[in-house]
Amino acid sequence: MDAYGFDAEFAQDVRRSNEATHKVLVGIQACERERHFVVLGFGSVYDWLIKRHKFSESAAHRRVQASRLLALVPDEKFTSGDVNLTTLTQVATVIRKEEKRTGQRMTKEAKSELVAKIERKTSAQTEQLLATEFPETNTGKDSIRALNHDQSRLTTDLPQATRAKLERLKELLGTQNSAEVLDEAFTALLKQLDSPETAPRETAAKSIPQKLRRYVIQKAQTCEYRDPVTGQRCDSTHNLQVDHIIPKAKGGTNQLSNLRCLCRQHNMHAAELNFGREHMNKFRTVREQHQSYVVH
């Protein structure tokens, strides 16, 4: 085979590889939309990709980001390589940062326009284009580097509004040390997010004594949900909540044998199995309203 024959065959392989990547992204999109990962015993679509399908954290992150923009890319653009996983992830990252900076959702039209602009561009060209289009959105990455066994150095870019919050907190806490402020802020936020008071079934949950609630979470340490088919245990440590195995509304008690520790995703899933998704969606809104009301 001469060089041209070889190259033509290789082009076929690349196309097949692009098709496979596209299929994976479509799958990730479906998994997130249908919340299949919850049933399968994972706390998030990331956990599912990392633990079940052995992606690295960054590979999982890139694919989830890219999958969220997939609807804006015609299949053919992806399989031909005009748009690829790397460039699509670059766009997704900038969109996320820009939305965070402006506090506004970018319209579908603006996103489509942006995706169209990166067609047939290399990763470096895309980076350049995005930096020009969004000069105020820094495309640089955070870095955390270990200095020694108990200190790390964090480098990040702060928008002006965040800087102002940091300065205000320094004043209130009487310190000039940003690390101290961060520690206080992280502790307060974790306390709020980990609080069992954020359990979705407000009325049922409220009647579990605080002590018992703490005991259940401390004993389990991680989410106890197990996929009944594969036996996969979630083990998430994020947003742990106490769940009634038999719901209170169905006669379940506060006895230890009826309590288990679940992450928020699986607490919602258990509730959906008991009460139906539609009912729980209503509840989710009420809960979120309540949450924004109590957190001043």
Half-sphere exposure of 267 (CA within 13 A, CB side): 26
Of the candidates 200, 266, 209, 203, which has an alpha carbon nearest to the alpha carbon of residue 232? 266
Nearer Cβ to Zn ion, position 97 or 266? 266
What token pair was written down for 282?
């209503």
To Zn ion, the closest distance from the beta carbon of 126 in angstroms equals 36
Partners of 261 in the β-ladder = 242
State both tokens at 140: 């640089």
Beta carbon nearer to Zn ion, 43 or 200: 43
Q: Binding Zn ion by CB under 5 A: which of 115, 223, 268, 270?
A: 223
Q: 41 vs 137, which CB is nearer to Zn ion?
A: 41
Of 35 and 101, the one with the shorter C-beta distance to Zn ion is 35
Q: At 266, list the tokens.
A: 């699986």
Q: 122-161: which residues touch Zn ion (CB under 5 A)?
A: none
DSSP string, 62-85: HHHHHHTTGGGS-HHHHHTTSS-H
Rank residues 47 and 98 by Cβ distance to Zn ion and give the closer one: 47
CB atoms within 10 A of CB 22: 22
Residue 23 token pair: 């299929």
Interacting span for Zn ion (CB under 5 A) from 29-37, 108-116, 207-215, 265-273 = 265-273
Q: What share of the chain is helix, strand, coil (3-state, %, to 5)?
A: 65, 10, 30
Q: Applying CB under 5 A, does 225 fall inside the site for Zn ion?
A: yes
Using CB under 5 A, which of 236, 239, 241, 267 touches Zn ion?
A: 236
Residue closer to Zn ion, measured from CB, 124 or 229? 229
CB of 264 to Zn ion, least distance (A): 8
Q: Is 103 helix (H, G, I), strand (E, B) or coil?
A: coil
Check if the beta carbon of residue 18 is closer than 8 Å to that of residue 80: yes
Say whether residue 217 binds Zn ion (CB under 5 A).
no
Nearer to Zn ion, 84 or 232 (CB): 232
* Cβ-based neighbours of 223, under 8 Å, separated by 6 or more: 43, 233, 234, 235, 236, 237, 240, 261, 262, 263, 266
Q: Is 234 in the site for Zn ion (CB under 5 A)?
A: yes
**Segment lying near Zn ion (by CB under 5 A), choices 106-114, 207-215, 225-233, 250-258:** 225-233
Q: Choose the binding region for Zn ion from 16-24, 37-45, 60-68, 203-211 (rule: CB under 5 A).
A: 37-45
Closer residue to Zn ion, CB minimum distance, 22 or 201: 201
Kindly indicate which of the ranges 2-10, 19-27, 224-232, 269-277 contains the residues binding Zn ion, using the contact rule CB under 5 A. Answer: 224-232
With beta carbons less than 8 A apart as the criterion, state whether 181 and 163 touch: no
Contacting range for Zn ion; rule: CB under 5 A; set: 2-10, 67-75, 170-178, 259-267: 259-267
Q: Per CB under 5 A, which region of 43-51, 76-84, 178-186, 251-259 contacts Zn ion?
A: 43-51
Burial class (CB in 10 A: 0-12, 13-18, 19+), 83: buried
To Zn ion, the closest distance from the beta carbon of 261 in angstroms equals: 9
Per CB under 5 A, does 43 bind Zn ion? Answer: yes
- Quote the least distance from Cβ 44 to Zn ion, whole Å: 9
Q: Does residue 40 interact with Zn ion by CB under 5 A? A: no
CA distance 266 to 225: 7
Query: Which residues of this chain interact with Zn ion, rule CB under 5 A?
Result: 43, 223, 225, 234, 236, 263, 266
